[in-house]
Chains A and B, each alone.
Chain A
Amino acid sequence: MLAPKRMSRLLIAASRDQMAPVVAELYRHNLFHIEEFVEAGAEGYEGFKIGTPLSGASEASVDLVKIRAIENSASIQGDDIDSAKTCTRVELQSRIERELPVLEKEVEDLTIRRSKLETRVKENEQKIAEITPFLTVPVDLDLYRGYSGFGVFAGYVAHEVTLSVPCEMSYSPGKEKNFIVIVAPVGQRNEVERALQDAAFQSVQIPEESGAPQVRIDYYSADISAMKSEIAEIHQKLDDVRMKHSGFLVACEEYLRAEVEQTEAPLRFATTKQTFVAEGWVPTENVDAVTDALVKVTNGKIYVTVLPIDFEHDNVPVEYNNPSFSKPTQVLIDVFNRPRYTEIDPTLMVSIVFPIFFGLILGDVGYGLILLVMAFGLRKFFKGDEGRHLLDVLRNASISTIIFGLLYSEFLGFPIPGLKPIMFSRHLMAEAAEEGGAVAGHGPMIPELMVLSIWIGILHISLGRILGMINHARQDHGEHRTKAVMANFGWLAVMWGILIAIWSIAALPLMPNLTGLPKIISVVNVGGIIGAVLIVAGIVFIARDSLLEVVEIPTIISHVLSYARIVAVGLSSVAIAMVVNFIAIGMFIEPQLKNFTIFSIFIIIAGLVIFLLGHALNTALGILGGGLHSIRLHYVEFFTKFYKGGGVKYIPFGMKRRFTED
């Protein structure tokens, strides 16, 4: 919680003949993040060389390439298939030897045949395109060729051409271009060409065909449709392959991937002629288990030790350590950047605050229910981890939306009958609420809502600054450490100084009123003096760390005001919902219900369509607005105060097996 999993740096040394069992054991545990060995300049590793792959590496990778090619042509993706452990290792091995070559041949033949057919379809389409202009000329295609005394000109012209020389001409005006065919004696060639040039002549190649153009086109079209049906048949067959073998193929891929990764692992180790050394990271809680397992599998012929961590130079891999409730939110943190090992991991805070912001912005029971249904309904289509996590985030956000919807008393933009807004009302039309009678008329309480959002901003940013102080205290050293911590304190002091100064001058709703404090000089009272002192002290602290940062002081105000988007974006979604309701119900449905005729049915249906489309649009905008703005408040306003990120992802050597057994 609030910090990544603790890691220990493990060094494993053993003789080379123990390499295979050690690699297999490490792979099975799926815990060891290998620190790759680099030959050049590795301290303390003089004379070591990068290892060579274990036996069977090349065979396995050749098979893996084949499997991936088959999966590609049959468009099989492991992520789309529910995990099922069906095959054991031995079974798979024998099946790979037996079935893979046959399957490969089958799929390869199909894809080759398909690409040949596709090329021929293209060729035929090209031929049809070539013949099509000649459809308008009632002459067989072979009559265009084979003259020695005549020249044939075919092509497009901008306007009709009149020739003074004896010739045969066919002119067919078209919508965009006019097609012309001229047969003239060879001797008159120059004159014909000149006349054509004046009419912006674009030559068209005469197709190497014989017979009437329409007949040829029909012939090629028939050919194309025959080939297309054959292609469809091939697709059907590939689909059959997918239906029949997808389980086997993904299992094979997983098995072979594991094989390849294991046999190629020595490429990441340091080796001598007789021994090998592997360095890497293991979560501290698992060190004993891994060490014991390695000792056991090698009968004690191994040396495993925990090395001290050097935070200056080591790049400790980072694995989240969060309660299951916050796990989905890790996706949002990864989008920004993974925390560094020494840094505070903000996932838990984001997982709590993000849904609250989302709920405050969208705050509508109707939309909340729609999103909740979506979050569960879309699970069928997202089988990967990341998609599922995003849906979980959406689920949490939608639950919070429903809760805030109840507090605001909103359902698709309508006030919920009989339920007064417990929180400040966002209903834009006070009159409408009064007419309904159920909800006491209260227009939008804009000042209160605005101040509430400002409060959220103040508290959120203060939390960020305090975390910033903790982070700097942890990560920095010496004089810089004190200065950086004090600078963060300075930012806090300036912000609260400005606030106290404002409170001492003006009374604001929902904020402490300090205007009554004893006055000192004219309008300035004790509060004003305290505020001014805080501001000045804060600026001094900031300047001591970095003078340039002083320029950034106005961002205190802009960042706090930026939280006003919680209200602003929320109100805009309420406004859209109300406009949709007014157009659909107030303008289309209600007047028709009062004077009902047969024709009204259509207008009522139109009203319903507007209602559905409008609310669908507003739901989409709600996800975008609510989600993007809440996450932006975290990324821009909150994280910039304390969070840098840039940690190395913890990628343990091994895999989560989905289709095969160990």
Chain B
Amino acid sequence: MAAELVAAVGGMTVEQINASQMGMKALGAGIAVGLTGIGTGIAEMGIGSAAVGAVAENKDMFGLALLFTVIPETIVIFGLVVGLLVLFL
């Protein structure tokens, strides 16, 4: 009751506050995934082009090249994990 009153004073109902909190969470999750995605992209840019060059020279390099290329992928996975935790915890 008291919370409702305070909220009503602030010009918002409890539902509104809850909804905006959810919205903020969603925004946070989106930013976490988006920024880490960009980070991964930038990191993989250089590695990827070098890896393709190496594979073009020597096909046996493929495994190693793939390995190097996907190393920064962990960054976006961290982002995804953080996003999920923010949304559902």
Residues of chain A touching chain B, judged by Cβ–Cβ distance below 8 Å, are 335-337, 443-444, 446-447, 450, 558, 561-562, 564-565, 567-569, 571-572, 628, 632, 635-636
User: Contact at B74–A562, with CB atoms within 8 Å?
Assistant: yes
6 A–B contacts, CB within 8 A, in A order: A337-B63, A443-B88, A444-B88, A450-B85, A632-B67, A636-B67
Q: Which 5 A-B pairs have the closest CB atoms?
A: A336-B63, A568-B80, A446-B88, A565-B77, A564-B81
User: Contact at A571–B84, with CB atoms within 8 Å?
Assistant: yes
Return the CB mask of B62-89 against A: 1 if under 8 Å, else 0.
Answer: 1110110011011001101100110111
Partner of A568 from the list B67, B81, B89 (CB cut-off 8 Å) is: B81
* Complex Cα gap A60–B42 (Å): 55
User: Contact at B63–A446, with CB atoms within 8 Å?
Assistant: no
* Complex Cα gap A444–B64 (Å): 36
User: Contact at B63–A572, with CB atoms within 8 Å?
Assistant: no
User: Contact at B88–A335, with CB atoms within 8 Å?
Assistant: no
User: Contact at B81–A450, with CB atoms within 8 Å?
Assistant: yes
Q: For A561, what are the chain B residues with a Cβ–Cβ distance below 8 Å?
A: 74, 77-78, 81
Q: Size class of B's contact patch?
A: 10 to 19
User: Contact at A632–B70, with CB atoms within 8 Å?
Assistant: yes
Partner of B80 from the list A335, A337, A443, A572 (CB cut-off 8 Å) is: A572
* Complex Cα gap A336–B61 (Å): 8
CB contacts under 8 Å to A, within B20-71, are 62-64, 66-67, 70-71
**Known: A564-B77, A568-B77. Contact between A446 and B85, CB under 8 A?**
yes
User: Contact at A568–B66, with CB atoms within 8 Å?
Assistant: no
> Is chain A's binding surface mostly helix, strand, loop or mixed?
helix
Residue of chain A at shortest CB distance from B84: A446
Partner of A567 from the list B62, B84, B89 (CB cut-off 8 Å) is: B84
User: Contact at B62–A335, with CB atoms within 8 Å?
Assistant: yes
* Complex Cα gap A636–B68 (Å): 9
Chain B min CB distance to A660 (Å): 29
* Complex Cα gap A338–B35 (Å): 37
Partner of B89 from the list A446, A571, A628 (CB cut-off 8 Å) is: A446
User: Contact at A635–B67, with CB atoms within 8 Å?
Assistant: yes
* Complex Cα gap A571–B77 (Å): 12
User: Contact at A632–B73, with CB atoms within 8 Å?
Assistant: yes
User: Contact at A450–B84, with CB atoms within 8 Å?
Assistant: yes
Residue of chain B at shortest CB distance from A336: B63
Q: For A635, what are the chain B residues with a Cβ–Cβ distance below 8 Å?
A: 63, 66-67, 70
Chain B min CB distance to A116 (Å): 35
8 additional A-B residue pairs with CB within 8 Å, beyond A336-B67, A561-B74: A446-B89, A447-B89, A450-B81, A450-B85, A565-B80, A568-B77, A572-B80, A632-B73
Residue of chain A at shortest CB distance from B80: A568
User: Contact at A628–B70, with CB atoms within 8 Å?
Assistant: yes
* Complex Cα gap A336–B88 (Å): 37
* Complex Cα gap A561–B77 (Å): 9
Residue of chain A at shortest CB distance from B69: A632
**Known: A444-B88, A446-B85. Contact between A562 and B67, CB under 8 A?**
no
* Complex Cα gap A518–B16 (Å): 46
User: Contact at B88–A636, with CB atoms within 8 Å?
Assistant: no
Q: For A558, what are the chain B residues with a Cβ–Cβ distance below 8 Å?
A: 74
